[in-house]
């Protein structure tokens, strides 16, 4: 087995590494090579009990800490993550295959920016408010259970930990068993920043064991989950027994609506990037490109040309833009969708099934584009979570909006066109975030979904309010 300096040998509970309750472990596999890079503890409900007890004991003191001090500590955590950026990037590339160039930028840069955004929000947040004869007070909700996926392993937890810390909450965190390595780095950074013992705890393990125990635990006041819609349904059902708050950021099937008056090269270039970035393993991706029927051939030619600029390769190669899928099981799933698209009659214009030439070893797929796709087909409706782009034609604007809104999801979308025209169409889309003409990511703006893409919001003031209770004191 290849070992790493960031390989955890135990859980992180009450401010220190502690032995797991059993000798059971979970293997972490490098998807580019199939080699084992680490083994982490396979936690049990008893491990969760220990972590929850630590978080519950730490809660009164942390909740009583002034918000300005909590924000200052969060800034120190952000600085600590940045200082260990290369170690974090290397770990993420090894455990889930994100190209190293992306790991160094997005996988490290996004969580640092999120930490700073919540620290800034704390400076002028209305913790108390006078409404008539009432004093409205916003207080920490308590102990938060955080459960995250493998595609952005550090980003997803910092998006929960940052608002929880600013709010005055404590946390028990279960990272994905596929990509658990950065959890230990984050825990060490929090301790070095001065976070009191017990405020942040990590229990490794599977969703079926540790995730269930966290969701059901009577001393956990809130669950914040990012992952599949299927898992979100299960967490909601389990958490309902104790009537705890549940915030869900789930799947997506974003549409990139290209209007007839759009700058086509920009719309296509951005759309392909939003379909293929991180190997398409992004809940906020745009795997559907909606185009005017009269411009189909022109747009397909632009898409194919743009797709050729996304070479697949070993993720440590600086030239690689698409690495392996996060696991062999996921590679088989994505490849199955590509084969399903062909079987259902979609027109293949780029890529196709099977591994790319020269990459017969590893969890690689070929970035794939289908044209003239039926909007009701499987590949246009289900979340593939891979580098598969479907081009769908529409006859008029009303049909474009109908198609864009015509999936069970509603997380993200994009619209390209004359600015006011595109804004008008964006208002009609049933999605929690819509980018107009490639609008830039803003960590101060709320992010979350409609329909089966989840409930609640992350980032910005609404993201902070998710982790707070509201009390009215009548006078």
Residue 4 has pLDDT above 60, yes or no: no
Residue 472 exposed, middle or buried by CB count within 10 Å (0-12, 13-18, 19+): exposed
Q: Are residues 230 and 269 in the same domain?
A: no
> Which tens digit of pLDDT belongs to each residue from 282-324?
999 999 999 999 999 999 999 999 999 999 999 999 999 999 9
Q: Are residues 128 and 111 in the same domain?
A: yes
- Specify if 5 maps to a domain: no
> Which tens digit of pLDDT belongs to each residue from 165-176?
999 999 999 999
Q: Are residues 139 and 262 in the same domain?
A: no
Q: Are residues 73 and 96 in the same domain?
A: yes
Q: Which residues partner with 246 through β-bridges?
A: 223
Number of domains in the chain: 2
Alpha-carbon radius of gyration of the chain: 22
Residue 338 is given by DSSP the state H
Q: Are residues 403 and 260 in the same domain?
A: yes
- Specify if 4 maps to a domain: no
- Specify if 131 maps to a domain: yes
Which has more confidence, 376 or 5? Answer: 376
Coil, strand or helix at 450: strand
Q: Are residues 435 and 469 in the same domain?
A: no
* 123 contacts: CB under 8 Å, gap ≥ 6: 68, 71
Q: Which residues partner with 137 through β-bridges?
A: 128, 471
pLDDT band at 23 (very low <50, low <70, confident <90, very high): confident
Q: Are residues 405 and 458 in the same domain?
A: no
> Which tens digit of pLDDT belongs to each residue from 251-285?
999 999 999 999 999 999 999 999 999 999 999 99
Q: Are residues 17 and 107 in the same domain?
A: yes
Domain extent, residue 275, equals 255-443
- Specify if 1 maps to a domain: no
Tell me how far apart the alpha carbons of residues 209 and 247 are, in angstroms, rounded to a whole number: 20
Q: Are residues 425 and 465 in the same domain?
A: no
pLDDT for the residue numbered 2: 41
Residue 22 has pLDDT above 90, yes or no: no
Cα 436 to Cα 256, 300, 428, 440: the distances in Å are 10, 21, 13, 9
Q: Which residues partner with 147 through β-bridges?
A: 174, 225
Q: Catalytic residue positions? A: 249, 283
- Specify if 290 maps to a domain: yes
Q: Are residues 31 and 101 in the same domain?
A: yes
- Specify if 313 maps to a domain: yes
pLDDT for the residue numbered 5: 45
pLDDT band at 3 (very low <50, low <70, confident <90, very high): very low
Residue 166: which of 71, 63, 79 has the closest Cα?
A: 71
Coil, strand or helix at 34: coil
Q: Are residues 235 and 296 in the same domain?
A: no
- Specify if 3 maps to a domain: no
User: Would you tell me how many other CB atoms lie within 10 Å of the CB of residue 17?
Assistant: 15
- In the predicted model, what is the mean pLDDT of residues 388-396? 98
pLDDT band at 21 (very low <50, low <70, confident <90, very high): confident
Residue 8 has pLDDT above 90, yes or no: no
Residue 445 has pLDDT above 70, yes or no: yes
Q: What is the CATH number of the domain that holds 319?
A: 3.40.309.10
Residue 106 has pLDDT above 90, yes or no: yes
Residue 83 has pLDDT above 80, yes or no: yes
On average, the pLDDT of the chain sits at: 96
Residue found by looking up tokens 């909606």 in the block: 290
> Which tens digit of pLDDT belongs to each residue from 141-150?
999 999 999 9
Task: Give the β-pairing of 454-455 and 245-249.
Answer: antiparallel
pLDDT band at 135 (very low <50, low <70, confident <90, very high): very high
Q: Are residues 235 and 298 in the same domain?
A: no
- Specify if 2 maps to a domain: no
pTM to 2 decimals?
0.96
């Amino acid at each position: 087995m290849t070992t790493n300096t960031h390989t955890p040998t135990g859980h992180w509970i009450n401010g220190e590494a502690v032995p797991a309750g059993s000798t059971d472990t979970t293997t972490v596999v490098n998807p580019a090579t199939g080699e084992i890079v680490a083994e982490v503890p396979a936690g049990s409900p008893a491990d969760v009990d220990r972590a929850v007890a630590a978080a519950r004991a730490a809660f009164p003191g942390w909740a009583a800490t002034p918000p300005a001090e909590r924000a200052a500590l969060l800034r120190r955590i952000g600085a600590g993550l940045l200082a260990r950026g290369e170690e974090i990037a290397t770990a993420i590339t090894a455990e889930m295959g994100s190209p190293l160039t992306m790991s160094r930028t997005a996988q490290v840069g996004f969580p640092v920016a999120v930490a700073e955004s919540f620290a800034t929000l704390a400076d002028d947040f209305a913790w108390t408010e006078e409404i008539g004869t009432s004093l409205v007070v916003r207080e920490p909700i308590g102990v938060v259970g955080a459960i995250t996926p493998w595609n952005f392993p550090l980003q997803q937890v910092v998006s929960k930990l940052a608002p929880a810390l600013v709010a005055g909450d404590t946390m028990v965190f279960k990272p994905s068993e596929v990509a658990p390595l950065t959890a230990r780095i984050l825990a060490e950074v929090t301790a070095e920043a001065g976070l009191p013992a017990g405020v942040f705890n990590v229990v490794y393990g599977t969703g079926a064991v540790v995730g269930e125990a966290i969701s059901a635990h009577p001393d956990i006041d809130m669950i914040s989950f990012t992952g599949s819609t299927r898992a979100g349904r299960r967490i909601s059902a389990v958490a309902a027994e104790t009537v705890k708050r549940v915030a869900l950021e789930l799947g997506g099937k974003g549409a990139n609506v290209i209007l007839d008056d759009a700058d086509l090269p920009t719309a296509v270039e951005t759309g392909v990037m939003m379909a293929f970035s991180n190997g398409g393993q992004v809940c906020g991706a745009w795997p559907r490109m909606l185009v005017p029927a009269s411009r189909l051939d022109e747009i397909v030619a632009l898409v194919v040309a743009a797709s050729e600029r996304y070479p697949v390769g070993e993720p440590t190669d600086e030239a690689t833009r698409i690495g392996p899928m996060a696991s062999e099981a996921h590679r088989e799933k994505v490849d199955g969708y590509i084969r399903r698209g062909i079987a259902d009659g979609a027109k293949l214009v780029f890529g196709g099934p099977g591994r790319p030439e020269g990459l017969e070893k590893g969890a690689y797929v070929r970035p794939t584009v289908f044209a003239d796709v039926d909007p009701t087909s499987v590949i246009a409706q289900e979340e593939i979570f891979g580098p598969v782009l479907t081009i769908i034609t529409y006859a008029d604007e009303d049909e474009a909006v109908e198609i864009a809104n015509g999936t069970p999801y509603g997380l993200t979308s994009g619209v390209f066109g004359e600015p006011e025209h595109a804004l008008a169409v964006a208002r009609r889309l049933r999605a929690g975030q819509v980018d107009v003409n490639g609008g830039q990511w803003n960590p101060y703006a709320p992010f979350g979904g409609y329909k089966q893409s989840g409930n609640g919001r992350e980032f910005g003031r609404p993201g902070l309010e998710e982790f707070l209770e509201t009390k009215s004191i009548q006078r």
